[in-house]
Structure 1
């Protein structure tokens, strides 16, 4: 269990931070960038949750918890060394749950016949912001995974990829199942 009794430690004042393994890395390292982007998605979802109710609110809160799991996973690189604890890893079941929810939400929404602009209801607009941040997090996690000696599990990369899809479909659901989506009109303002 995490216990934080002192918020500032001054240990990062030199531009370094520690991963959960104790390994010291630069604050701008690809790994810190990746889990920092995941944290931004979580914060954006916190704002979105202010406008959500019922099942949508519950799903957002669950996803926020999953994002902490993902951050813990990314902050604990598998360097092949035995740790004193079992590291928390994102599981394929978490991604499967997103897929089930995407299918359920999308079943009520008419297929797209145009790209849509981010917006509509307040909740949809916030979910679109979270989606775009999630797409950056996905790029950051994929970049980290592409670096030699920087292990990222397939489950972690799949989760963040599927989450951007979930956020898109959830935004459409928040727009009266797509009825309030704002369609892109190519060249409308020429």
Structure 2
């Protein structure tokens, strides 16, 4: 008798699960009706799209005593440009990208990765490739930091000035006078 109960309990539990899951919910379709089965009734497309009744109630704006933090005076107009006439972008993301001197031989190429005001410089990905992963960009001025030396020669150019060329390439003039043109691959 015991073995027959042991076999019957899982079957009863499974059947109860299916019976409960098939019960109608508040839209009348039941769990299986909402996913395309059951009842022979047409499914209401509104079942899938939330409406205002599905959203939590929000407090009203009545009594809001906050003030407008904006101004309408137009700001100052005596600043002029700050890019030194070099053209190109500032720290507005226009320098963003994955820049290589030689995009066809990336393992052997200088690489600048710029995102916003953060920059990383890879001398190359070989044995002699120093890495400066804490660079900052302030306008068109790049300052490298957090450099790790790999190989015997240390990369010593820690500052550069950047400008975008008309063809979309990036002109980099290092403090030593080295001038490089980078292509964005990303």
TM-score (norm 2): 0.24
- The structure whose residues are more often strand, as a share, is 2
Query: Radius of gyration: which is bigger?
Result: 2
Q: What TM-score do the two structures reach when normalised by structure 1? A: 0.24
